[in-house]
Structure 1
């Protein structure tokens, strides 16, 4: 697969592009993301589905700009897919032929089921969950993938979309007609005869826009959309305020951005109607979708479109990008596990914290790469945003704080106050801080010494093969939790 790959997705409402750079066999990082709300399907549903000249011209001009960005980033592979608008339009070949002839770009029009499958592949690999439904509300259609126990059971596309509903029903004040249309389409889901999970992974601009409003309303401490989760019942009032808004001022008052005024009511109406009909309890917001799904089906074509077990693309891509010494990283990861295991009778933490301690230990040196001085603070800020995929918000916050407090003193209550709702107890974070600090102190001279640990009551006995003064002095300075005594 090409080192730099561009994926372009021509949707009914927005056209999006991601440029991804591969760093090792399965890892990659995002180097560009561009969006243009060309509204290529504007006016088509009122004209027998035919694409109109002005929207097609907007899309053509945006594609030229997308290709300029792609070429500047030295992308050697460009995959362009189109969904509902071009799939449904009788005159789509006019646009496709012009783009191929004048821009040299081949557009692949994908079927609805394939579009839904791509969304499922993206969410399955890049979100930390394995049983859910993906729901991708677009301008012309809505796609669903049903994932259970880490496998995609079924994918389906329905003719429900924000632009479609707006032009056929909302512009005519036929809200009941819109609801009937949605419910009639949803019957096809029940006809599948499969169990419907109670958790939805929301994809698409309308769902993301709604999630941003929820985050702001709830004063959520982390400004990261991918992985943001909320309960449907807690947001019923917000749903209704947007759906019943009389004008743009009403929309603005609840936090809707100007660029969403045109379709947010329709998108929210579709979203709530589907959530209610399928009896969904929880929504997880996805920052990835069709584009990432297209990329991953190419990248993972020899592994059933799924990452290997226990592979984390965010961790691997950061290790690649910052060229962290593999031997040092492996040593710190292994030693972190040893420290966690031997101290388990005292800290009694869930094993998920063992995984997070190992990850924090492997990535802590990123801060020094960014800037040696205040390296822990640098790493904290970067890790909060750098662990892009496959991490719960709680997990990335724990990893970032564990790295931040890998120093002599333990964190206090005031140190974790800002992110308190996403963190475990102060006691847990003090143990995490101590364990990573001990791990780093053991390898202070980067010699990767052989070490054995034994816990006798509340005394941790450390047997070092190379007990240098530097290591000894750094361990002596550590503040330990509870009544733990360290003996070397």
Structure 2
């Protein structure tokens, strides 16, 4: 696969492009993301599905700009797919041929099931969940992908979309007809005997806009959409306000962005109807979708379209780009696991925190490449935004705080106030803070000493053939959790 790859997704409402760069076999990072609201399907549902000249020209002009960006970034591979609007349009070949002849770009029209599959592939690889249904609301269709035990079970596409519903029902103020239409389409889901989980992963602009609104209105502490989770029941009243909004002033008051005014009411109506009918309890927002699914299907084609077990693309990508010494990184990870395990009788932390401690121990030094004197603070900010994939918000906030408090003193309640709703108890965080501080201190001289750890009652005994003065003097300054003693042999 090319080192730099461009993926373009031509949807009914928006056209998006992403440019990814590989840093190692399975690791990658985003170089560019560009969006254009071309509304290529505008007017088509009122004209027997035919694409109209003005929207086609907008799409053509945007594609031309996208290709210029891709060329400037030295992309060697371009994957371009089109979804509902072009697959439904009788005159789509007119647009496809013009793009091929004038821009030298081949557009692949994918069917609805493939579109749903791409969304599911992105979600199952880039969100740490094993059982959910993806819901991807577009301009012309809505896609569903059912995942169970980390595997895709079924992919379904229904002719429900914001632009389609607006032109067929909402311009006539026929909400009753719109609901009946949606529910009739959804019968196709139940005919296929899909087992519906209680968690939905929401994909697409409408669902991201709703999540952003919830975050703004609740003063949520983290400004990241991917992995944002909420309970549907808690925000039904907000959905209702958006659906019933009669003017743009109301939408502004609800923190809806201007570029979503034209379809947010229809999109929220669709999403609300689907969530009720499927009896969804929890919604996880996905910042990835068809584009990432297309990329991953290409990247992972030799590994059954899944990352290797226990592989995290974000962690590996950060290490590929900012790691100072791979041997030190491996040592810190292994040592973190040993310290966690030997102290388990005292801290009683869930095994997931062991994973967080290992990741934090491996990533702690990447801030040095930005500014050595503010390394912990740099890494903290970097992790909150840099762990782009495979992390829910609680996970990335915990890893960031473990690194931030890899100091000689333990954190206090006031230190975690800003992110308290996403963090474990102060006592648990103090244990994690101590364990990473101990881990880093023991290898402060970069000697990668082989230590033996023994827990005797409430005393942690650390044995080694030789412990340097630098390490000993640092350990003497570390604040210990209550009831713990530290002994060196």
Q: TM-score per shorter chain, which class?
A: over 0.9
Match of 2:27 in 1: 27
Match of 2:383 in 1: 383
1:111 aligns with 2:114: no
Superimposed CA distance per residue, residues 413-446 of structure 1 (whole angstroms, 9 cap, x where no aligned partner): 0000000000001011111111000100000011
1:339 aligns with 2:343: no
Match of 1:313 in 2: 313
Match of 2:461 in 1: 461
Superimposed CA distance per residue, residues 226-265 of structure 1 (whole angstroms, 9 cap, x where no aligned partner): 0111111101100100000111111111111111000000
Deviation at 1:30, TM superposition (A): 0.7
Match of 2:153 in 1: 153
Q: TM-score, normalised by structure 2?
A: 0.99
1:394 aligns with 2:398: no
Match of 1:350 in 2: 350
1:187 aligns with 2:190: no
Q: TM-score, normalised by structure 1?
A: 0.99
- Given that residues 85 and 140 in structure 1 are in contact (C-alpha distance below 8 angstroms), is that contact kept between their aligned partners in structure 2? yes
Q: After the TM superposition, which residues 418-437 of structure 1 pair with which residues of structure 2 at under 5 Å, given as runs? A: 418-437=418-437
Does 437-446 or 343-352 show the bigger shift?
343-352
Aligned partner of residue 352 in structure 2, secondary structure: helix
1:136 aligns with 2:122: no
Match of 1:101 in 2: 101
Superimposed CA distance per residue, residues 306-351 of structure 1 (whole angstroms, 9 cap, x where no aligned partner): 1111111111111111134221111000000111111111111111
Structure 1 distance, partners of 2:321, 2:34, is 22
- Given that residues 450 and 466 in structure 1 are in contact (C-alpha distance below 8 angstroms), is that contact kept between their aligned partners in structure 2? no
- Given that residues 243 and 269 in structure 2 are in contact (C-alpha distance below 8 angstroms), is that contact kept between their aligned partners in structure 1? yes
- Given that residues 11 and 82 in structure 1 are in contact (C-alpha distance below 8 angstroms), is that contact kept between their aligned partners in structure 2? yes
Structure 2 distance, partners of 1:273, 1:350, is 37
Aligned partner of residue 134 in structure 1, secondary structure: strand
Superimposed CA distance per residue, residues 90-116 of structure 1 (whole angstroms, 9 cap, x where no aligned partner): 111111111111111100000110000
Superimposed CA distance per residue, residues 380-412 of structure 1 (whole angstroms, 9 cap, x where no aligned partner): 000011111111211111110000011111101
Structure 1 distance, partners of 2:346, 2:282, is 35
Match of 2:162 in 1: 162
Deviation at 1:89, TM superposition (A): 0.5
Deviation at 1:465, TM superposition (A): 2.9
1:370 aligns with 2:359: no
Deviation at 1:23, TM superposition (A): 0.9
Match of 1:175 in 2: 175
Superimposed CA distance per residue, residues 117-155 of structure 1 (whole angstroms, 9 cap, x where no aligned partner): 000000000001010000000000000000001110100
Deviation at 1:163, TM superposition (A): 0.2
1:228 aligns with 2:228: yes
Deviation at 1:158, TM superposition (A): 0.5
- Given that residues 434 and 480 in structure 1 are in contact (C-alpha distance below 8 angstroms), is that contact kept between their aligned partners in structure 2? yes
1:263 aligns with 2:263: yes
Structure 2 distance, partners of 1:173, 1:417, is 47
Root mean square deviation of aligned Cα: 0.8
Superimposed CA distance per residue, residues 143-178 of structure 1 (whole angstroms, 9 cap, x where no aligned partner): 000000111010010000000000111011111111
- Given that residues 8 and 16 in structure 2 are in contact (C-alpha distance below 8 angstroms), is that contact kept between their aligned partners in structure 1? yes
Match of 1:275 in 2: 275
Deviation at 1:366, TM superposition (A): 0.7
1:86 aligns with 2:119: no
Aligned partner of residue 391 in structure 1, secondary structure: coil
Aligned partner of residue 455 in structure 2, secondary structure: strand
Structure 1 distance, partners of 2:138, 2:392, is 25
Aligned partner of residue 269 in structure 2, secondary structure: helix
Q: After the TM superposition, which residues 176-255 of structure 1 pair with which residues of structure 2 at under 5 Å, given as runs? A: 176-255=176-255
Structure 2 distance, partners of 1:435, 1:370, is 25
Deviation at 1:467, TM superposition (A): 1.1
Structure 2 distance, partners of 1:97, 1:447, is 63
Superimposed CA distance per residue, residues 190-236 of structure 1 (whole angstroms, 9 cap, x where no aligned partner): 10012111111000000110111111111111111001111111011
Aligned partner of residue 352 in structure 1, secondary structure: helix
Structure 1 distance, partners of 2:465, 2:251, is 66
The answer for unaligned runs of 5 or more in structure 2 is none
Deviation at 1:303, TM superposition (A): 1.5
- Given that residues 119 and 290 in structure 1 are in contact (C-alpha distance below 8 angstroms), is that contact kept between their aligned partners in structure 2? yes
Structure 1 distance, partners of 2:250, 2:372, is 49
Deviation at 1:378, TM superposition (A): 0.4
Superimposed CA distance per residue, residues 281-321 of structure 1 (whole angstroms, 9 cap, x where no aligned partner): 11110000000000001111111111111111111111111
Aligned partner of residue 24 in structure 2, secondary structure: coil
Match of 1:486 in 2: 486
Structure 2 distance, partners of 1:460, 1:129, is 36
Segments of 4+ moved more than 2 angstroms = none
Aligned partner of residue 455 in structure 1, secondary structure: strand
Structure 1 distance, partners of 2:104, 2:476, is 66
Match of 1:475 in 2: 475
Structure 2 distance, partners of 1:457, 1:411, is 25
Structure 2 distance, partners of 1:465, 1:477, is 22
- Given that residues 136 and 202 in structure 1 are in contact (C-alpha distance below 8 angstroms), is that contact kept between their aligned partners in structure 2? yes
Match of 1:77 in 2: 77
Aligned partner of residue 418 in structure 2, secondary structure: coil
